[in-house]
Structure 1
């Protein structure tokens, strides 16, 4: 019986040493490069600043990481909802304009205050800044 215990202990030791020598450092397949850990910065704005009913507004999302433009964000969506009107809600993909800039042209048909949220995903990071836009007659 003692012989089997010694053999089992020896096999366990060999297996443990072999596992430690596999070289992956325990993170094989996990691409956690340094750039992925730097926070994504998002600046949400629109032009013209004074929006009017029936006039086109260009909503702009500028995405940077380490002070460099992010041209290949995984997703940039713009969510628009009118305050006080739950039926007025949309979420639309922004167009990549290059240089870390993503845009959406929108014409508002009603005056009011709108909540504009940009949903930006870059790798494992997701950020969603929100601003209020007042549309006048």
Structure 2
């Protein structure tokens, strides 16, 4: 009798678990449909700044143009500009990019010291991450 009760309780739990796994209401299917419609083409990031010739202490506008399949990406989750000194790798600046529309993200900042730097834009968009870098020479 005890074994029958344990078996009945076990079967009841198993049926409940099995049925709850089937009650997604199509959520899995709609999620799969969304993923299937997302382009597998990599995002492209063009990194620039203005002015092109930078002087120490001058305000600089860093810009990342983000595209996918030749179309602007306006829904990036994160755009971060990292400026790292080439002579002192511990020294770095970070500026958060804000959307300016048409796939363009901008941030303003000031590099206080002269020297050579590496600018890296960290862009996370559409389940992808891109980190293009360019050399920046800041004049005294």
TM over 0.5: yes
Which residue does 2:123 correspond to in 1? 120
Which residue does 2:89 correspond to in 1? 86
Cα distance, 1:78 vs structure 2? 0.9
Choose between structure 1 and 2: higher helix proportion: 2
Which residue does 2:5 correspond to in 1? none
Cα distance, 1:61 vs structure 2? 0.4
Q: Is the 8 A contact 2:83 2:94 kept in 1?
A: yes
Cα offsets for 1:49-97 (capped at 9, x unmatched) = 1100121111110001111111111111111111121331133321111
In 1, Cα distance between the equivalents of 2:136 and 2:38? 33
Which residue does 2:56 correspond to in 1? 53
Q: Is the 8 A contact 2:95 2:108 kept in 1?
A: no
With normalisation by structure 2, the TM-score equals 0.73
Compute the RMSD of aligned alpha carbons. Answer: 1.7
Q: Which of structure 1's runs of 4+ aligned residues deviate more than 4 A?
A: none
In 2, Cα distance between the equivalents of 1:33 and 1:106? 39
With normalisation by structure 1, the TM-score equals 0.74
Cα distance, 1:39 vs structure 2? 1.5
Which residue does 1:42 correspond to in 2? 45
3-state DSSP of counterpart to 1:72: coil
Cα distance, 1:124 vs structure 2? 1.5
Cα distance, 1:34 vs structure 2? 4.0
